[in-house]
Structure 1
């Protein structure tokens, strides 16, 4: 596999489509600095997936797109395509069958990056996977840019390991291992979550089974309760419909009275409207007077403001004129001073220029003397370099052997330490503490299981108690509802009976009598029927005799005695004194069965009583003329007449109703007491239920905490088991490494003995070279002192010359600046003189300019006095009309109140009607919710069906439902779903455990292959590095060493000592030495695993000619197996190339390519 060509378009400075061909294995890219040579290597790294803009010498990925020049517009995208020759089939996988492979990347201004493989769109990862194991990649050892050489040598051991892995071809193994570990971690997490879910699901299944059976029973009872509730609503609907019709008749009667009252309001309103028309006319006249008054006042204010403004303006003009004259005087003074300074500086400049010429001549003479001294030092340096070349051989040999001895001693020490560490670690791992760590965890898990079981039983007990508490609360609420219903019913009966009692008398007479009592300041003690106590069974007799007297007003004895003139007493009025008699008097008369006001009792003494009508007729013969007889059932008769009242009489049943009313009031008071007691009991039950709910919540939290702790202990137990397995694997691995270290220790001891013999011979030769070196160093001291004196003399001359030149330049600059300042100040003086003339002309001179406005102001003040008098007349007229309107409004308000009173009564009845309508609508909605029709349900029910009977049925049905306790209606479906999910999770758990074991086996296999490949590759690269390093440097030693014991993650360190040096670390090497060391390392990697091509960007820049020659020869040798593309400025490296590609930038900012075949050019030149 080799690189055939690169196609660039819009990439950095290659704006035009350009194809770079690579026909041979030695291609050099040359050109001046900044022409875009390195952009070719950037293009290769970019298309292979480089994602760091900084690495590509940019700030963002869109910086690789051509950004335009002074003559060209920016382009919208950049495109790079690499064409590879794959005739050898080195690329594996699906592309192994292709002889040519194309890799292309395109990026747009929107930072959208796309990759293509053989024209098909792909991912960045596909590009990376394609080159895994080949040595190619965006940051592989096959691409070495400017500065990368030194960074390669100075990289950390972990970073240097990456190059060894790439050469070993195990980078793809690492990717596979990383993916496998991620899958293992996710699988383990999924397995733990799955285990927790299965445990929790198993516990829930038992609860759901019980709940499902209860839910089925609940559905049956709920259907029965729903039917009974619908029938109860239908009964209530039927009763409420009848009550609503009665209320509607009362509303119609009140509306007739309201319309009559509204007619009176309309008449008053007409009078008010007439008065308001007069008010409008008067108001318009008032507004006209006000408008005239305010208009005159506004004109007065305007003229006064104009007079004040004119005075202020004259003052401002006078102040501006004085300031302008002051500024003009100051400007004239500044002009005179600057002109004197200009003459002074011009004279100083004329004196400094001749002295400057003399200093330039002296500086040139000092520079010539310095050049002579530098040439003498250079001649000595050449002699010194020759001596060093001759003496280098023995010195290098000694240093190499010393370094090798130190290195071998360090290796032996580290091997001993490694053996000791491995043995200690193996002994520590041999201690078996696994069982002792697992047993307490298992004990904790067992304790948690017992705790969970206990908490579940406690929760069941609390739930049962909570259900019983809820049942008691429901019963209490039902009892409370029943008591409230009874109270409401009693209140309705009381209201109805009270209305009937009040309607038993004529409303007009009753109202008139009430007004009279209030006017005369007399206190009424109530009606007669309320003050009477009648024996049971004699109510009809008393009502028959007393009649309308039952509605008479009872007064106190004192009020009755002190009554004023009865002339004002209303017609039909009936007053009774309060005084009472003892029971039992007047035996045989009706008075014996009545207790009440004295006047009434006295009246009843003349009324005899009989058991029946026959007895009454017999007793008529015995009656006095003023006496009569009455029967128990209401027949009242005497000699010559017989009377029995109709049941339609307003007073009929008034006494019985009064007794019933008092009984209901007593029952109402008792019901209120019972309601309070039930409320207190219900509050206690709710408090107890809250305590049970709190206890249940705390117990559930404790249960969840136990479940969480159990899950943690289970997870910890799994971790301990995994750790035990890892320790066993580690012990086996340590034994293998101990055996390998012991073999290596014996080999290194033999190498150490040989190195010590070679060192002794080299030290003898080095002593002879030391004497000659001392003589040369003394000569260097003499020449160096002479050179320093000449340099100091030349520096002093240059400093004096520079100060003189700066002084002249400052004088020239100051003269020019002062001339510009004089021009500006002259212009300022002219402007100030013009401003002075303008202000002098503007100020008025002579008579008063405000005389006209003052005369007009006096005339307007007279007009304002007249307008104010007219305004007062119009205000008085409007006040009279408004007083009349207020009287009419008061009358209409009284009439409105009367209408509103009637309306309030109507609204009261309408409210009752609306309430009935709302209740009817609510009942209809409730019935329709149960898919019923009120008329149909009511028709199907028996006529005698009562609301209380159906309420009892509903209560009994609800009690049966409540006895079931809390119901989970979704339990049936949840139980089926949970069972199905349990089976699915069990199967999934088995699959995950099988997959986890498969992944562990894959990891062990990958680790084994990785260790073996890395060890073999490291040894081969280390041997090649030790061989190439002396060839590059002409001597010295170098090696690689692993920094850790585990071959999977150990770092790699570089140890290198050029000939004649004893550096303790590689960081002490010069830039050129680091570059040569990096070249030796990279080429040793290429010897083992040659990448398809290698790109070198000015790697030879820090090397001298001798080292460049060795570098070029080595590249030529390697080019038999590897394709090289190198960028260089060195002629020696250019001579080694087969093809030269010149990059030019004739047009600023745009790179172009010129290709030359060196062999063809040589043949053409020879011909």
Structure 2
């Protein structure tokens, strides 16, 4: 037997399906650190049943599933399949090749398969246990396992030998038997308690069974006596019913005869009533006609008087206003005067303009004369000051002219630059202003969108708050109705008995709205009744239990029962105001058939007096019968059930509304959130737009300021240019004056200048100004006169139009008054003719009124006589009807008594009516008194027996059978305990034999293996308790060569590893397994010790297969197959294999 292959799918770093095909001998697995070599060891342990996540180097079992790396996604399951070559039949299974598969999913579910069939972990462990592989997995030596072997307790070291010896299978059998033994003890105790209890109950139950047997005999006599008495009572009631029915038939014939007479009299009365009605109508019509004609005569007389008055009161009135034509003429005259005044104003304005031109001409002449005179005066003064000064002034002025012109040219150039800057700023400002205008236009839609979004968000929040308020209100309503239902259920009447299949009467009868109190009063104590299907079974279940009085209502397949009685107006049967379960229609209608629902106490009294059999109940619960009345208030089961049903309906509606509003509330929350997001987005967009607009406005303002500054600078520069030009002109003028003065000084003499020309110019100017003042006054006067007369013509024309309209209205009024007077005269003539005709018709109507009144009185007299006859017949009919009604009531009562007797026989005695009349009808010599005495005697005998358990006989037999069955079970359990104890004893013997043999073999092998690894050293295994081979532990004593220590803790790391290996190899040699797995067990060894260990590997290879995880080249050299394990950057392990020829040493 050896491992044939190992397939990994999704196990740890083996993301892809990977298969390792093993060969007999030594298989070495090599590769760099972290490439996944140890995952091969973990896979072997995991597939063979390892369930410790710590042993598998994980935190939880799900860590064995590939978790994803690089571009590879995490997987959902891990799967490992181990294939074993079983051609030598070591495994107890009829297959030469065995495949063990273990599968784990992300949810923690795990599966095992053996050769593709579903299996359990126990099946896998039992399959491998015979080959020395158990839960300790001593055949798999992982990293750090060597140190654990030496540091473990002696009892734990014992487990390695037991596993190799195949003891674990027997230990599991022993533990299983011990668990069964413990569980069986509890069953045994329970059986003993039950048998003791049943034995204690059998004796009193036997006495009850004997009493029940006696009671059955006495009850048979009681039943026979009751049946015979019931048969006699039923025959007596049937005879009474026959007599009552015969009397009812006679009264019916008399009532029918009187009814025919009354019907004939009633027909005659109806004919007379029709004639009276017609005569009354004719009389009323005649009376109405007389009234109408009388009123018409009065109206016609009044019309004649009014028309005469109006015909006399219509005098002519002349028009007293001004003449419109005269006003038109005055308006035309005023218009001509206005035109003349406007012409005068225009002439005065033209004359003033001409005079102003003359004033300006004379002012210019005066200025020239003043200038000439001043020049002559200055020339004389200059000559006197000297020519030298004028020459100096000429040079100065020439220099000022040059300087001023140069400055003007410079400033002109700067002015042009300033103008360019201003134009550029203005152009940029214009562009930005257009952009800002566009932004301002775009702001309104954004603002509207924000306003709408804010309004929608507010509306959504309001809706959400409204729904939240409604939800809270509904939750409070649900809580309120639940509390009310709980309170009502607690206050509802409780039944002392709890019968299976029986429910309160409130579940089978439901009153209409507002009829609860009435039904409660009508039922009375029966409102606490129970309804069910089998009264007999219920009575047996109740037995002789001491309980308060309880009413039971049984299912019936009979139809409902009603009374045949006519009710007065305003009264209804209570049964018509309730809903009854059809299964209980018969008994409930029998209970309430005589109850009438009325509106008030007076009607209740009327109902009871009319039919004493009836009971009348008002809406407030007052119940009245013949000679008695029940009043007062109180809540019973009916009202409580109605209140509970109403509360449950309200609760259901509130819950339904709450469920409806829950979905609406979620939608409103989502809508509110969306509205808030939309409002925030709109607000953000508006804020962003305002930010951009603000920035643009600041740029426009900056450019505006810049353009303004450039404009101001341009204006200042223009002013400076103008000033420079003015200074140049002024300097040029001064230069020209200086040159002129020099010329005059040179040409003129020093005589004083004449003032005659200037004085003449001043005199002419003064004269012209006087003329200007006069022209101004004339123009002002003409304008005032024209303004005063302007509008006078329009005013006169409007007045003329108004007077013309007033005159037309006056003439129309006079024409209307004349026409009204003529119409009044015509009305007066026609009204007089109508008055005469109305008087004639009024006389005829008076005659008709008297004639119809006399006819009406005659018919009324006849009708009174006929009605009196009808009343007498009705009284006689009522008398006989009352008698017939009393007879019907008696018949109904007799029928009710018969039906009650029949129902009592069927319900209480369980005998059909036909059987009762045929088998228990009274004979001729029947003595009812003797039967009553017999019944009383039997009932007394039955009472003397006391409380009787009718089920005692059956219970005694059943209890006796159960006791015998449990006694047999008790004997079986005691025998099973004895058998299990013997099994445990046999298993202990097998464990002791297997462990003892294995111990001796391992103890023998260990010193030789230790000497191989430690030449010159000594080592041995020692039992901690040799006297108890079933529980003793194992201690390891080791003394390497050259050392005297025996304590394992004082050994070096390599020595500890070799010592642990010595113990494992000793076990391997004593009880060889088909394969062993070593995970870097030689990592801490030097070359010398490594070669010693390899020598042991080669020895083990002869009988077992070795799978070694290693980094050591010497170990690789002795391997038959070499597996290379690599891992690239994607975190996935890959395997390559190479078959090799091992080196010879």
**If the TM-score is normalised by the length of the shorter chain, which range does it land in?**
0.3 to 0.5
Query: Normalising by structure 2, what TM-score?
Result: 0.41
Larger Rg over CA atoms: 2
Query: Normalising by structure 1, what TM-score?
Result: 0.40
